[in-house]
Amino acid sequence: TQLFDTPITTTTLYIRDPERLPMLFHISDLVQFGTRGAMLAMWGQPLFERDALFNDRPSRNPFGNFIGYTSARMVSEQALMLGVMRRKGIEARLARPCEVGLSNLKLWDNILRRNFRVLNHCEAGVDFPERFLTSRRVLTTLYKASAIEQLQRLDPQGYRLRIPRIWLNQYLLTCLRPGWWVSFATIVLFSTSPTLARRIRSYWRTLRKVAHAESYRV
């Protein structure tokens, strides 16, 4: 499936490997290089309707949820990618950011390897802001460029092995993943004391140095 006249060059920061963090269509929007036509196709798209981006109420189900307390159907990187696909007549829907199904997995693997030239972020020659690289836990959830290249070798048998690995990590081994415990904590806190939850979240972002100094987010 070809979305652009020529592939867009980007880095692995932050293209999530669904076997490490269950998120599909999560393209990197930090650094991209491409032809004018490709970049316009990527970024010159109409806005989503609110109903397409949000559910009626926040999810309080921690099962397989690595995003936490949110009503979002998708995060911004996923919305960007799904918007490009929609303009090309490719309909893929997510009910929640961490939803992973076999058909969407195959679709995303195909689109990622055919439409993007992906470089390892540490080898791309890009001086990323320090706050993008402070969390080693987050960096371990990213694809390696070599792994994306290997996606073309997957056959039906390969996918029969790949999707169970994803679901195993998403649903059965969650207690071994620090990211899931952070997600679980946000669900508990926002469900019981939203004010306290916002204060803790603000402190957590400051502690991890992942917030802008003048950020309006709390």
Q: Got the DSSP string for 61-121?
A: --TT-SS-S--BSS-HHHHHHHHHHHHTT-----SSTT---HHHHHHHHHHHHHHEEEE-G
Residue 161 half-sphere exposure, CB side, CA atoms within 13 Å?
4
- Which residues fall within 8 angstroms of residue 162, CB to CB, at 6 or more apart? 19, 105, 154
pLDDT class for 60, splitting at 50, 70, 90? Answer: confident
Tell the burial category of 135 from Cβ atoms under 10 Å away from its Cβ (0-12, 13-18, 19+): middle
* Higher-confidence position of 147 and 71: 147
Q: What is the pLDDT of residue 210?
A: 53
pLDDT class for 216, splitting at 50, 70, 90? Answer: very low
Asked if residue 199 has pLDDT above 80, the reply is: no
Is 197 within the bounds of a domain? no
Asked if residue 4 has pLDDT above 90, the reply is: yes
Alpha carbon 65 to chain centroid, angstroms = 13
Is 90 within the bounds of a domain? yes
Going by C-alpha positions, the residue among 154, 132, 92, 96 that lies closest to residue 11 is 132
Omega of the bond leading into 216 within 30 degrees of 0 (cis)? no
Q: What is the DSSP letter of 144?
A: P
Q: What is the pLDDT of residue 150?
A: 93
pLDDT class for 207, splitting at 50, 70, 90? Answer: low
Q: What is the pLDDT of residue 190?
A: 76
Is 142 within the bounds of a domain? yes
pLDDT class for 149, splitting at 50, 70, 90? Answer: very high
Asked if residue 66 has pLDDT above 50, the reply is: yes
Q: What is the pLDDT of residue 185?
A: 78
pLDDT average, residue stretch 95-116: 95
Strand-pair partners of 217 = none
* Higher-confidence position of 46 and 200: 46
Is 214 within the bounds of a domain? no
Q: Angle of helix 36-43 relative to helix 76-87, nearest 10 degrees? A: 110
pLDDT average, residue stretch 171-192: 77
* Higher-confidence position of 213 and 149: 149
Range of the domain at 159: 8-175
Is residue 154 within 8 A of residue 109, CB to CB? The reply is: yes
Number of folded domains that form the chain: 1
The three-state secondary structure class of 27 is coil
Asked if residue 5 has pLDDT above 80, the reply is: yes
Q: How far apart are CA 128 and CA 107, in angstroms?
A: 30
Q: What is the pLDDT of residue 208?
A: 59
pTM, rounded to two decimals? 0.83
Q: What angle do CA 36, 40, 109 make, to 5 degrees?
A: 100
Consecutive H or E run containing 10: strand 8-11
The pair of structure tokens assigned to 213 is: 């100094």
Main-chain dihedrals φ then ψ at residue 9, nearest 5 degrees: -90, 130
Is 191 within the bounds of a domain? no
The pair of structure tokens assigned to 96 is: 């929640």
pLDDT class for 139, splitting at 50, 70, 90? Answer: very high
* Higher-confidence position of 28 and 203: 28
The three-state secondary structure class of 54 is strand
